[in-house]
Structure 1
Amino acid sequence: MTQLIDRIRPKLNELGERLSPMLSGLCGETIYPHVAKHARRTINPPVDTWVAFAPNKRGYKAHPHFQIGLFGSHVFIQFAIIYESTNKSVFAEHALHQLDDIAKHIPAHYIWSGNHMVPGGDRQGELGEQGLRKLLERLKTVKASEALCGINIDRNDPLLLDGEAFVTKAEETFRTVLPLYKMAF
């Protein structure tokens, strides 16, 4: 936990401060950063940590949001609508009616996941319309379901050594998944 608090959390705070204004401009509303505190943990670190960006100052889980975080294997940059969101069915319904638009705007290498606690997922190009339809139908009907879409960057990718290039990649990714965010309203 000490390394997470001393080394990782300051970087997440910096990303939050740096990217919130850009996301606010993209979304047309104030977007607030929320860095994971892992308050119940004192010794054992979590398997992942993140900064989430949402239009609510008090929290992000109940809202469609953007995230930057990391597992031991990779960094992720993504749109997320998790099990606590009241907009899940709205997003699922809108997305189901716009599957063709999603296929046009979300690149084949972007990853879709149905569980924010598990690293990985399925590439847009491999998931196909039927796979995405299945994920969205589940999101619409299953209370504990989730939908996340974005990119994973391997922990050894040189991009992670260049702060400015990483911020540029995050901005590019958020612009790409912005239509998904807008489908949640």
Structure 2
Amino acid sequence: MNIASFSADDFNVFKIDGLEPRMDALKVQIQPKLQALGEHFSQQLSVMTGEEMFPHVAKHARRKVNPPNDTWVAFAANSRGYKMMPHFQIGLWETHMFIWFAVIYEAPNKVEIGRHLEQNAKQLIKNIPSHYVWSMDHTKPEVIPHDGLSVDDLNSMFNRLQTVKKAEILCGIRISREEAIQLNDDDFIKTINDAFEHLLPLYKLK
């Protein structure tokens, strides 16, 4: 299956009003691309992590009224689901695409992960590229630039992951819609590869 970069039409799906019309467009327009990304990068991430990684394309099945504002494919070492595991994501909002390492609130071992992250904060502050960003809520597009963060800033986020029930931590890159639609297919794959290589040390700290 060929991997195609995201197009303007893909981003425009999130301008469609109504749950059913937007979901129909997601299924036709975006999900085949996410499935192709899932097949390709699950193999690659399996090699990188040393664990069998399974792709999970977001179904948005719980939505009854509000249409989704973003969509993604997630990769986790579990064939049945990803939300309870540290995982990777590739996806898009109307304004940008994202590539994440993510630990979201359903993960039962958040406290342990947060502790490992805290123990390695000094290393992470140096090794994560300055243009990367952090998020503490996967449902919102707002991010915190890594550039300018101190070790104390990182530890504050990592401590929150350990102490707040609904806390989450995500790290990765966001690429504006304008930049994303300019990427040819080869550059698109290279960009994702590069992001996963930089995010792999975070995954290894789980």
TM over 0.5: yes
CA distance in 2, matches of 1:63, 1:74: 25
Would you say the 8 A contact 2:96–2:180 is kept in 1? no
CA distance in 2, matches of 1:43, 1:92: 34
Aligned residue for 2:78, secondary structure, equals coil
TM-score computed with the length of structure 1 as normaliser: 0.95
- Return 5+ residue gaps in structure 2 as ranges: 1-22
Change (3 A) 1:28 1:2: same
Residue number among 28, 38, 44 corresponding to 1:22 in the alignment: 44
Residue identity over aligned pairs, in percent, reads 47
CA distance in 2, matches of 1:116, 1:70: 12
Change (3 A) 1:91 1:173: same
Aligned residue for 2:178, secondary structure, equals coil
Superposed counterparts of 1:144-159, under 5 Å: 144-158=166-180
Larger radius of gyration: 2
State the one-letter code of the partner of 1:100.
K
State the one-letter code of the partner of 1:67.
Q
1:32 correspondence with 2:54: yes
State the one-letter code of the partner of 1:151.
I
Residues 123-157 of structure 1 deviation map (CA, whole Å, 9 limit, x = unaligned): 11122222211111100101100000000000110
CA distance in 1, matches of 2:191, 2:97: 12
CA distance in 1, matches of 2:70, 2:162: 26
CA distance in 2, matches of 1:178, 1:66: 9
Partner of 2:124: 102
Partner of 2:76: 54
CA distance in 2, matches of 1:133, 1:43: 38
1:6 to partner: Cα distance: 0.5
Would you say the 8 A contact 1:149–1:177 is kept in 2? yes
CA distance in 1, matches of 2:152, 2:163: 16
CA distance in 1, matches of 2:66, 2:142: 22
1:45 correspondence with 2:67: yes
CA distance in 1, matches of 2:59, 2:25: 13
Question: Over the residues paired in the alignment, what is the CA RMSD in angstroms?
Answer: 1.4
CA distance in 2, matches of 1:169, 1:29: 22
1:71 to partner: Cα distance: 1.0
Aligned residue for 1:126, secondary structure, equals coil
Change (3 A) 1:35 1:158: closer
More displaced 10-residue stretch of structure 1: 144-153 or 102-111: 102-111
CA distance in 2, matches of 1:138, 1:44: 29
Change (3 A) 1:174 1:95: same
Change (3 A) 1:107 1:94: same
TM-score computed with the length of structure 2 as normaliser: 0.85
Residue number among 165, 168, 187 corresponding to 1:143 in the alignment: 165
Would you say the 8 A contact 1:111–1:120 is kept in 2? no
Aligned residue for 1:180, secondary structure, equals helix
Would you say the 8 A contact 2:89–2:102 is kept in 1? yes
CA distance in 2, matches of 1:82, 1:158: 25
Partner of 2:29: 7
